[in-house]
Structure 1
Amino acid sequence: MKKWTKAIEINAPIEHVWKYLDGSVENMQKIMPQVIEQKPVKITEEVVGSIYRQKFKEGKRTEEYDIETLEYTNEADEKKVKVGFILAKMFEITALYELNKINDTKTSLTYTVTTRPLKWYLKFLLIFATDKTVVEFLERFKKVAEAESGRYT
Protein backbone atom coordinates (compact mmCIF):
# COMPACT_ATOMS: atom_id res chain seq x y z
CA MET A 1 0.00 0.00 0.00
CA LYS A 2 1.17 3.52 -0.79
CA LYS A 3 0.00 6.59 1.12
CA TRP A 4 0.44 10.30 0.46
CA THR A 5 -0.57 13.17 2.73
CA LYS A 6 -0.25 16.82 1.73
CA ALA A 7 -1.66 20.01 3.23
CA ILE A 8 -2.30 23.45 1.76
CA GLU A 9 -3.77 26.75 2.98
CA ILE A 10 -6.56 28.19 0.87
CA ASN A 11 -7.49 31.87 1.09
CA ALA A 12 -11.22 31.25 1.20
CA PRO A 13 -13.81 30.58 3.94
CA ILE A 14 -14.29 26.95 4.99
CA GLU A 15 -17.91 26.83 3.68
CA HIS A 16 -16.73 27.99 0.26
CA VAL A 17 -14.00 25.33 0.10
CA TRP A 18 -16.41 22.63 1.36
CA LYS A 19 -18.85 23.19 -1.53
CA TYR A 20 -16.39 21.53 -3.94
CA LEU A 21 -16.50 18.32 -1.90
CA ASP A 22 -20.05 18.29 -0.55
CA GLY A 23 -22.06 20.00 -3.23
CA SER A 24 -23.04 19.67 -6.84
CA VAL A 25 -21.27 17.62 -9.49
CA GLU A 26 -20.64 20.90 -11.34
CA ASN A 27 -18.63 22.23 -8.37
CA MET A 28 -16.74 18.94 -8.04
CA GLN A 29 -15.82 19.03 -11.73
CA LYS A 30 -14.08 22.38 -11.20
CA ILE A 31 -11.45 20.66 -9.03
CA MET A 32 -11.72 17.20 -10.66
CA PRO A 33 -12.30 17.89 -14.37
CA GLN A 34 -12.02 14.18 -15.25
CA VAL A 35 -15.30 13.43 -13.45
CA ILE A 36 -17.96 13.18 -16.16
CA GLU A 37 -20.92 12.33 -13.96
CA GLN A 38 -21.84 11.24 -10.45
CA LYS A 39 -25.22 9.74 -9.60
CA PRO A 40 -26.51 8.49 -6.25
CA VAL A 41 -26.94 4.72 -5.94
CA LYS A 42 -27.71 4.57 -2.20
CA ILE A 43 -28.08 7.57 0.11
CA THR A 44 -28.00 7.19 3.89
CA GLU A 45 -29.32 9.73 6.38
CA GLU A 46 -25.97 9.90 8.21
CA VAL A 47 -24.08 10.18 4.86
CA VAL A 48 -21.58 7.43 5.82
CA GLY A 49 -22.45 4.38 3.75
CA SER A 50 -23.82 6.44 0.85
CA ILE A 51 -22.74 5.17 -2.56
CA TYR A 52 -22.40 7.13 -5.81
CA ARG A 53 -21.70 5.79 -9.29
CA GLN A 54 -19.04 7.96 -10.86
CA LYS A 55 -17.85 8.17 -14.46
CA PHE A 56 -14.27 9.31 -14.83
CA LYS A 57 -12.41 10.06 -18.05
CA GLU A 58 -8.76 9.03 -18.16
CA GLY A 59 -7.27 9.89 -21.54
CA LYS A 60 -9.60 8.34 -24.13
CA ARG A 61 -10.99 5.75 -21.72
CA THR A 62 -13.98 6.20 -19.46
CA GLU A 63 -14.01 4.29 -16.17
CA GLU A 64 -17.13 3.76 -14.08
CA TYR A 65 -17.03 2.77 -10.43
CA ASP A 66 -18.93 3.05 -7.18
CA ILE A 67 -17.63 5.45 -4.55
CA GLU A 68 -18.63 4.83 -0.93
CA THR A 69 -18.57 7.50 1.77
CA LEU A 70 -16.52 6.03 4.64
CA GLU A 71 -16.27 9.05 6.99
CA TYR A 72 -18.17 12.32 7.17
CA THR A 73 -18.00 15.34 9.49
CA ASN A 74 -19.66 18.69 8.84
CA GLU A 75 -19.02 21.06 11.76
CA ALA A 76 -18.56 24.84 11.60
CA ASP A 77 -14.76 24.76 12.09
CA GLU A 78 -13.97 21.24 10.89
CA LYS A 79 -15.22 19.28 7.89
CA LYS A 80 -14.13 15.88 6.68
CA VAL A 81 -15.10 13.38 4.02
CA LYS A 82 -13.40 10.08 3.23
CA VAL A 83 -14.39 8.02 0.21
CA GLY A 84 -13.27 4.66 -1.10
CA PHE A 85 -13.51 2.87 -4.43
CA ILE A 86 -12.00 0.11 -6.57
CA LEU A 87 -10.23 1.41 -9.67
CA ALA A 88 -10.27 -0.85 -12.75
CA LYS A 89 -10.46 -3.97 -10.55
CA MET A 90 -6.78 -3.36 -9.83
CA PHE A 91 -6.46 -0.86 -6.97
CA GLU A 92 -8.41 -0.04 -3.82
CA ILE A 93 -8.25 3.72 -3.35
CA THR A 94 -9.26 5.90 -0.42
CA ALA A 95 -9.28 9.70 -0.45
CA LEU A 96 -9.60 11.73 2.74
CA TYR A 97 -10.27 15.48 2.63
CA GLU A 98 -9.93 17.33 5.95
CA LEU A 99 -10.83 21.02 6.17
CA ASN A 100 -10.03 23.14 9.21
CA LYS A 101 -11.04 26.75 9.66
CA ILE A 102 -7.98 28.95 10.30
CA ASN A 103 -10.04 32.16 10.37
CA ASP A 104 -13.03 33.64 8.50
CA THR A 105 -11.07 33.92 5.24
CA LYS A 106 -8.56 31.07 5.40
CA THR A 107 -8.94 27.28 5.41
CA SER A 108 -6.45 24.46 5.82
CA LEU A 109 -6.99 21.46 3.52
CA THR A 110 -5.23 18.17 4.22
CA TYR A 111 -5.55 15.52 1.52
CA THR A 112 -4.59 11.91 2.17
CA VAL A 113 -4.81 9.26 -0.51
CA THR A 114 -4.02 5.56 -0.18
CA THR A 115 -3.60 3.08 -2.99
CA ARG A 116 -3.63 -0.67 -2.31
CA PRO A 117 -2.95 -3.06 -5.18
CA LEU A 118 -5.45 -5.91 -5.49
CA LYS A 119 -3.06 -8.13 -7.48
CA TRP A 120 0.44 -9.05 -6.31
CA TYR A 121 2.20 -7.96 -9.50
CA LEU A 122 0.82 -4.42 -9.20
CA LYS A 123 2.85 -3.82 -6.01
CA PHE A 124 5.89 -3.17 -8.18
CA LEU A 125 4.14 -0.30 -9.98
CA LEU A 126 3.60 1.51 -6.69
CA ILE A 127 7.32 1.50 -5.91
CA PHE A 128 7.81 4.16 -8.57
CA ALA A 129 4.66 6.16 -7.83
CA THR A 130 5.25 9.77 -6.76
CA ASP A 131 3.16 12.47 -5.10
CA LYS A 132 2.99 14.53 -8.33
CA THR A 133 -0.74 13.91 -8.87
CA VAL A 134 -1.53 14.80 -5.24
CA VAL A 135 0.44 18.06 -5.41
CA GLU A 136 -1.14 19.04 -8.76
CA PHE A 137 -4.63 18.30 -7.39
CA LEU A 138 -4.10 20.52 -4.32
CA GLU A 139 -2.70 23.35 -6.45
CA ARG A 140 -5.73 23.17 -8.79
CA PHE A 141 -8.11 23.04 -5.79
CA LYS A 142 -6.47 26.14 -4.25
CA LYS A 143 -6.49 28.05 -7.55
CA VAL A 144 -10.18 27.34 -8.23
CA ALA A 145 -11.39 28.00 -4.67
CA GLU A 146 -9.48 31.26 -4.35
CA ALA A 147 -10.46 32.53 -7.80
CA GLU A 148 -14.15 31.83 -7.19
CA SER A 149 -14.12 33.37 -3.71
CA GLY A 150 -12.56 36.57 -5.08
CA ARG A 151 -9.40 36.20 -2.99
CA TYR A 152 -5.96 35.78 -4.52
CA THR A 153 -2.65 35.05 -2.83
Structure 2
Amino acid sequence: MKWKEERQIDAPIEVVWALFEEEQAARIMPKVIENRWIVKKTDMRGSTYNQTYQEGKRKETYVVEITEFEDTANRKHKHIQFQLARTFEMKLAFTLEKASEHKTKFIYSGSNRGINFVGRAMLKLGSRKNGNQVIHDFMDRVEKEATQDRT
Protein backbone atom coordinates (compact mmCIF):
# COMPACT_ATOMS: atom_id res chain seq x y z
CA MET A 1 0.00 0.00 0.00
CA LYS A 2 1.34 3.43 -1.00
CA TRP A 3 -0.09 6.87 -0.41
CA LYS A 4 0.55 10.57 -0.85
CA GLU A 5 -1.82 13.13 0.61
CA GLU A 6 -1.56 16.92 0.82
CA ARG A 7 -3.27 19.46 3.02
CA GLN A 8 -3.03 23.18 3.73
CA ILE A 9 -2.66 23.91 7.46
CA ASP A 10 -3.50 27.32 8.88
CA ALA A 11 -0.32 27.60 10.97
CA PRO A 12 3.29 28.74 10.38
CA ILE A 13 5.76 26.11 9.15
CA GLU A 14 7.83 26.20 12.38
CA VAL A 15 4.73 25.49 14.50
CA VAL A 16 3.78 22.47 12.38
CA TRP A 17 7.40 21.21 12.22
CA ALA A 18 7.70 21.19 16.02
CA LEU A 19 5.05 18.44 16.10
CA PHE A 20 7.43 16.12 14.22
CA GLU A 21 10.13 16.23 16.90
CA GLU A 22 10.49 12.77 18.42
CA GLU A 23 9.63 14.15 21.87
CA GLN A 24 6.23 15.34 20.55
CA ALA A 25 5.21 12.05 18.90
CA ALA A 26 2.36 11.23 21.29
CA ARG A 27 0.54 14.43 20.31
CA ILE A 28 0.13 13.35 16.70
CA MET A 29 0.51 9.56 17.14
CA PRO A 30 -1.43 8.72 20.33
CA LYS A 31 -0.52 5.02 20.23
CA VAL A 32 3.19 5.89 20.40
CA ILE A 33 3.97 5.92 24.12
CA GLU A 34 7.74 6.44 24.02
CA ASN A 35 10.66 7.39 21.80
CA ARG A 36 14.16 6.77 23.15
CA TRP A 37 17.21 7.84 21.17
CA ILE A 38 19.80 5.19 20.28
CA VAL A 39 21.97 7.39 18.04
CA LYS A 40 21.19 11.07 17.43
CA LYS A 41 23.37 12.58 14.71
CA THR A 42 23.86 16.30 14.16
CA ASP A 43 22.28 16.32 10.70
CA MET A 44 19.70 13.71 11.85
CA ARG A 45 20.24 11.44 8.79
CA GLY A 46 21.11 7.97 10.03
CA SER A 47 19.80 8.72 13.53
CA THR A 48 17.91 5.88 15.21
CA TYR A 49 15.56 5.57 18.15
CA ASN A 50 13.45 2.94 19.86
CA GLN A 51 9.75 3.63 19.47
CA THR A 52 7.21 1.91 21.69
CA TYR A 53 3.68 1.57 20.34
CA GLN A 54 0.70 0.32 22.32
CA GLU A 55 -2.42 -1.20 20.81
CA GLY A 56 -4.76 -2.20 23.63
CA LYS A 57 -2.69 -4.26 26.09
CA ARG A 58 -0.06 -5.19 23.50
CA LYS A 59 3.15 -3.16 23.36
CA GLU A 60 5.64 -3.33 20.51
CA THR A 61 9.08 -1.71 20.46
CA TYR A 62 11.00 -1.34 17.22
CA VAL A 63 13.89 0.71 15.83
CA VAL A 64 13.08 3.75 13.70
CA GLU A 65 15.73 5.16 11.36
CA ILE A 66 15.68 8.69 9.96
CA THR A 67 16.80 8.23 6.36
CA GLU A 68 16.22 11.75 5.02
CA PHE A 69 16.13 15.08 6.84
CA GLU A 70 15.89 18.68 5.68
CA ASP A 71 15.23 21.75 7.82
CA THR A 72 15.28 25.05 5.90
CA ALA A 73 13.17 28.17 6.33
CA ASN A 74 10.82 27.26 3.46
CA ARG A 75 10.91 23.44 3.46
CA LYS A 76 11.05 20.79 6.17
CA HIS A 77 11.27 17.08 5.41
CA LYS A 78 11.73 13.89 7.41
CA HIS A 79 11.67 10.34 6.04
CA ILE A 80 11.63 7.43 8.49
CA GLN A 81 11.53 3.67 8.14
CA PHE A 82 10.94 0.76 10.51
CA GLN A 83 9.63 -2.78 10.73
CA LEU A 84 6.41 -3.18 12.70
CA ALA A 85 5.85 -6.48 14.51
CA ARG A 86 8.37 -8.17 12.16
CA THR A 87 5.43 -8.22 9.72
CA PHE A 88 5.37 -4.85 7.95
CA GLU A 89 8.02 -2.57 6.51
CA MET A 90 6.87 1.02 7.01
CA LYS A 91 8.34 4.01 5.18
CA LEU A 92 6.85 7.40 6.05
CA ALA A 93 7.68 10.89 4.80
CA PHE A 94 6.52 14.17 6.29
CA THR A 95 7.15 17.23 4.11
CA LEU A 96 6.22 20.80 4.98
CA GLU A 97 6.40 23.70 2.56
CA LYS A 98 5.93 27.32 3.55
CA ALA A 99 2.86 28.61 1.71
CA SER A 100 2.87 31.99 3.53
CA GLU A 101 3.87 33.34 6.93
CA HIS A 102 0.77 31.73 8.45
CA LYS A 103 0.05 28.76 6.18
CA THR A 104 1.87 25.49 5.58
CA LYS A 105 1.45 22.84 2.91
CA PHE A 106 1.66 19.42 4.61
CA ILE A 107 2.51 16.41 2.41
CA TYR A 108 2.26 12.97 4.02
CA SER A 109 3.43 10.04 1.94
CA GLY A 110 4.52 6.52 2.61
CA SER A 111 4.25 2.83 2.04
CA ASN A 112 3.36 -0.22 4.07
CA ARG A 113 4.66 -3.52 2.72
CA GLY A 114 4.14 -7.00 4.12
CA ILE A 115 7.53 -8.62 4.67
CA ASN A 116 6.25 -12.13 5.30
CA PHE A 117 3.21 -14.23 4.42
CA VAL A 118 1.16 -12.92 7.35
CA GLY A 119 1.92 -9.28 6.54
CA ARG A 120 1.14 -9.68 2.86
CA ALA A 121 -2.11 -11.50 3.66
CA MET A 122 -3.17 -8.86 6.18
CA LEU A 123 -2.60 -6.08 3.64
CA LYS A 124 -4.55 -7.94 0.95
CA LEU A 125 -7.44 -8.62 3.31
CA GLY A 126 -7.47 -5.13 4.80
CA SER A 127 -9.63 -2.56 3.11
CA ARG A 128 -8.17 0.42 1.29
CA LYS A 129 -10.94 2.51 2.90
CA ASN A 130 -9.67 1.70 6.40
CA GLY A 131 -6.09 2.51 5.37
CA ASN A 132 -7.19 5.85 3.95
CA GLN A 133 -9.09 6.61 7.16
CA VAL A 134 -5.93 6.05 9.24
CA ILE A 135 -4.03 8.44 6.95
CA HIS A 136 -6.72 11.14 7.16
CA ASP A 137 -7.07 10.74 10.94
CA PHE A 138 -3.31 11.33 11.28
CA MET A 139 -3.46 14.43 9.09
CA ASP A 140 -6.45 15.70 11.10
CA ARG A 141 -4.47 15.33 14.36
CA VAL A 142 -1.49 17.22 12.89
CA GLU A 143 -3.78 20.02 11.73
CA LYS A 144 -5.64 20.18 15.06
CA GLU A 145 -2.46 20.30 17.14
CA ALA A 146 -0.79 22.86 14.86
CA THR A 147 -3.77 25.21 14.87
CA GLN A 148 -3.94 24.97 18.69
CA ASP A 149 -0.23 25.88 18.93
CA ARG A 150 -0.22 28.73 16.41
CA THR A 151 -1.04 31.47 18.92
TM-score by length of 2: 0.92
Deviation at 1:121, TM superposition (A): 4.3
Off by >3 Å, runs of 4+ in structure 1:
none
Aligned twin of 2:39: 42
Contact 2:113 2:119 in 1 (8 A): no
Residue number among 104, 108, 131 corresponding to 1:111 in the alignment: 108
Residue 137 of structure 2 is aligned to residue 140 of structure 1 = no
Residue 88 of structure 2 is aligned to residue 91 of structure 1 = yes
Deviation at 1:149, TM superposition (A): 1.2
AA in 2 matched with 1:145: A
* Cα 1:132–1:65 shift into 2, 3 Å: same
AA in 2 matched with 1:11: D
Alignment map for 1:70-89 (pairs within 5 Å)? 70-89=67-86
Q: Which moved more, 1:115-124 or 1:28-37?
A: 115-124
Aligned twin of 1:126: 123
Unaligned 5+ segments in structure 1 are none
Deviation at 1:28, TM superposition (A): 2.2
CA distance in 1, matches of 2:42, 2:103: 30
* Cα 1:62–1:121 shift into 2, 3 Å: closer
Could you list the per-position Cα deviations for residues 121-142 of structure 1 after superposition, in whole angstroms to 9, with x for gaps in the alignment?
A: 4323223342110011101110
AA in 1 matched with 2:9: I
CA distance in 1, matches of 2:127, 2:92: 16
Name the structure where helix makes up a greater proportion of residues: 2
Residue correspondences, number: 147
CA distance in 1, matches of 2:120, 2:112: 10
Could you list the per-position Cα deviations for residues 75-111 of structure 1 after superposition, in whole angstroms to 9, with x for gaps in the alignment?
A: 1000000000000000000110000000000001010
Residue 17 of structure 2 is aligned to residue 18 of structure 1 = yes
Unaligned 5+ segments in structure 2 are none
CA distance in 2, matches of 1:12, 1:96: 20
Aligned twin of 1:68: 65
CA distance in 2, matches of 1:109, 1:59: 30
CA distance in 1, matches of 2:116, 2:11: 41
Aligned twin of 2:53: 56
CA distance in 2, matches of 1:79, 1:91: 26
TM-score by length of 1: 0.90
Between the aligned residues of both structures, percent identity stands at: 31
CA distance in 2, matches of 1:49, 1:103: 31
